[in-house]
Amino acid sequence: MKKIVLILSVFTTALLSNSCSDKFDEIDINPNSTSKPLTYGLFNSANKELTDNTRDEWQSGRMTLPWVQYSAQRAYTEEDRYQYRLTTGASLWSFSYRVAQDYKTIIDLNTDPDTKVQMSAYGPTQNQIAAARIMLSYTFLTLVDSFGDVPYYSYGNQDPDFQALNVNGQLQPKFASQQKIYADILKELKEASEMIDASKVVFTQGDVLFGSGQKLKRFANSLRLRVATRVKNVVPGAPAHITDAIASGVMQSNDDNVGVTYENNLINPSPMYNSFRTRSDFAISKTFVELLKGNVGNFDLDPRLFKFATPTGVNKSLILNGTSPESTDPADFNGMPYGIPSSVAPSQAPSSNFFSKNILKPDYTEILMEYSEVEFLLSEANGWSQANYENGVRASMEKWQVSTADINNYIASLPAASQENVLTQKYVALFMQPYEAWAEYRRTGYPDTLLLPGQTGTLNVPSGGNTTYTFTSLIAGLTDLPNRLFYPTTVQTLNTVNYQAASNAIGGDKMDTKLIWDTN
């Protein structure tokens, strides 16, 4: 956009002085940029920007993380009650298209005859293109899951409705339909998986996400399984993608987990740790703690509680330096009541629990997808399979380093696999992956232990007793979790015609407008 504005301003100047006409190319060159960047550097930068934003204190901490009730805010609770800052949704939109442009640039560099030979020095061309296609699919999946119809780009599909990422040709892109986007994401993931040489690396150096073509391929197929399961009842061909993705090879163990690991320093620390250094706004939700304690739902005390949360009263400095004590006493965990008025929050904050040092650490890994989720998807695909269900629980607990004895005891106590039980355990395993948990709740209605508008919650009372409150949504008419985000106001202003068409197509630019797969 800066480039376009500069060109337009230079053009205006040229009307006044023809003597400048031979300077256009010179003016339009950024002396600090390169036309041939290192593709692995561009890839890592895009991946980091993706998790920096979807897992930070804003797009995650003040929006989806509390909405799925993994967390509750200790001070400003308006966002927990759905009145999110519109700039937060706008930021999700804008950075997503920025990182998508970076992934597209990797494809362009590996397909342009003038650059692809040089790019091949950084990794097998086909594997680089496949990695970019897969991450484009991941990025657009978050966008379409969050907003509904959005401008969309496809590498392998020249559908005239796919007009995104073409700033030189289309400044006001159409919004593609959800139906088309999900169908194309499935196609892109299948084609990308099939073009990967699993025996080779993705990048010859600097690959901190995959490391091998095999891991990339399993991620592509696992992500396709996730998407196909989401839209299996509304997108033709999706059930066949479930079968094919599984047959093509999905994640086999926690070694296949894919995530962005931050550095153990204060230069590139994980986003939530970086926020926690200066603010204490976020605590683990009482709703979630009650589920893990076994006080609601169908499960016994979950030992992951002691890995997820810090005991009440632990000094913040101990968490920051990684020396905070752990506890296996459920009485040390209360959680922060969710959806309370801001005026009540100060009385509840002292008895709430911060996230644990396992999460609030500089070198935390923000997971994009993990093996345990795949096992729960397989359980669903296999008619709520008990074996896959137990595999999913075990994989999640092993990832969080629960002792083998505690894992075996918990699995022995599990109720039989069913839709409710499998999906509730999937929700627990998706802890700290709020966008996927949000999508799964909208698709399935599970877990059914969340506190919804109009329902009564219980406050923490140090002296005992039972003081209650009613969770009140601040968005009129919204009686469940939000179904989607508002389109950014900038899009409404700068792309009015296509915005209005998209708003009409989805049933209105409202938070209670359901996406095509939200049928529970």
Three-class secondary structure assignment of 152-196: CCCCCCCCCCCCCCCCCCCCCCCCECHHHHHHHHHHHHHHHHHHC
Q: With bands split at pLDDT 50, 70 and 90, how would you rate the model's confidence at 34?
A: low
Residues contacting residue 335 through CB under 8 Å, at least 6 positions apart: 72, 283, 284, 285, 286, 287, 288, 289, 290, 309, 352, 353
Alpha-carbon distance of 386 to 301, in angstroms, equals: 20
Q: Report the domain count for the chain.
A: 2
Alpha-carbon distance of 288 to 285, in angstroms, equals: 5
- Look at residue 127 and tell me if it is in a domain: no
Whether the CB-CB separation of 468 and 456 falls below 8 Å is answered with yes
Specify the pLDDT at position 169: 83
Given a cut of 70, is residue 71 above it in pLDDT?
A: yes
- Look at residue 346 and tell me if it is in a domain: yes
- pLDDT tens digits for 466-492? 799 999 999 999 999 999 999 999 999
> Percent of the chain beyond pLDDT 90?
91
Quote the DSSP letter at residue 309.
Answer: B
Mean pLDDT of the region 279-299: 97
Given a cut of 50, is residue 346 above it in pLDDT?
A: yes
Q: With bands split at pLDDT 50, 70 and 90, how would you rate the model's confidence at 12?
A: very low
Specify the pLDDT at position 241: 98
Specify the pLDDT at position 30: 52
Given a cut of 80, is residue 57 above it in pLDDT?
A: yes
- Look at residue 300 and tell me if it is in a domain: yes
- pLDDT tens digits for 385-435? 999 999 999 999 999 999 999 999 999 999 999 999 999 999 999 999 999
How do 456-458 and 468-470 pair as beta strands?
Answer: antiparallel
Whether the CB-CB separation of 431 and 55 falls below 8 Å is answered with no
Please give the full DSSP string across 340-377, using - where no structure is assigned.
--TTTHHHHGGGS-PBPTTTSSTT-EEEEE-HHHHHHH
Specify the pLDDT at position 424: 98
Q: With bands split at pLDDT 50, 70 and 90, how would you rate the model's confidence at 36?
A: confident
- Look at residue 158 and tell me if it is in a domain: no
Quote the DSSP letter at residue 23.
Answer: G
Alpha-carbon distance of 327 to 434, in angstroms, equals: 25
Last residue of a domain, one of 438, 455, 470: 470
Mean pLDDT of the region 238-256: 98
- Give me the domain span that covers residue 327: 271-368+406-470
Q: With bands split at pLDDT 50, 70 and 90, how would you rate the model's confidence at 463?
A: confident
- Look at residue 448 and tell me if it is in a domain: yes
- Look at residue 478 and tell me if it is in a domain: no
List the structure tokens of 412: 């022995």
- pLDDT tens digits for 177-215? 999 999 999 999 999 999 999 999 999 999 999 999 999
Nearest residue to 303 (alpha-carbon basis) of 378, 407, 218, 201: 407
Specify the pLDDT at position 452: 98
Mean pLDDT of the region 202-229: 98
Given a cut of 90, is residue 509 above it in pLDDT?
A: yes
Specify the pLDDT at position 24: 37
CA angle 256, 262, 268 (to 5 degrees): 160
Given a cut of 80, is residue 89 above it in pLDDT?
A: yes
Alpha-carbon distance of 438 to 441, in angstroms, equals: 5
Whether the CB-CB separation of 275 and 381 falls below 8 Å is answered with no
SS3 470: strand
SS3 282: strand
- Look at residue 388 and tell me if it is in a domain: no
Residues contacting residue 342 through CB under 8 Å, at least 6 positions apart: 75, 76, 77, 78
SS3 68: coil
Specify the pLDDT at position 26: 46
Given a cut of 50, is residue 326 above it in pLDDT?
A: yes
Count CB neighbours of 489 within 10 A.
13
Specify the pLDDT at position 110: 98
Given a cut of 80, is residue 155 above it in pLDDT?
A: yes
Q: With bands split at pLDDT 50, 70 and 90, how would you rate the model's confidence at 301?
A: very high
Given a cut of 80, is residue 5 above it in pLDDT?
A: no
- Look at residue 188 and tell me if it is in a domain: no
List the structure tokens of 445: 């209605």
Residues contacting residue 368 through CB under 8 Å, at least 6 positions apart: 51, 138, 219, 258, 259, 260
Given a cut of 70, is residue 7 above it in pLDDT?
A: no
- pLDDT tens digits for 99-137? 999 999 999 999 999 999 999 999 999 999 999 999 999
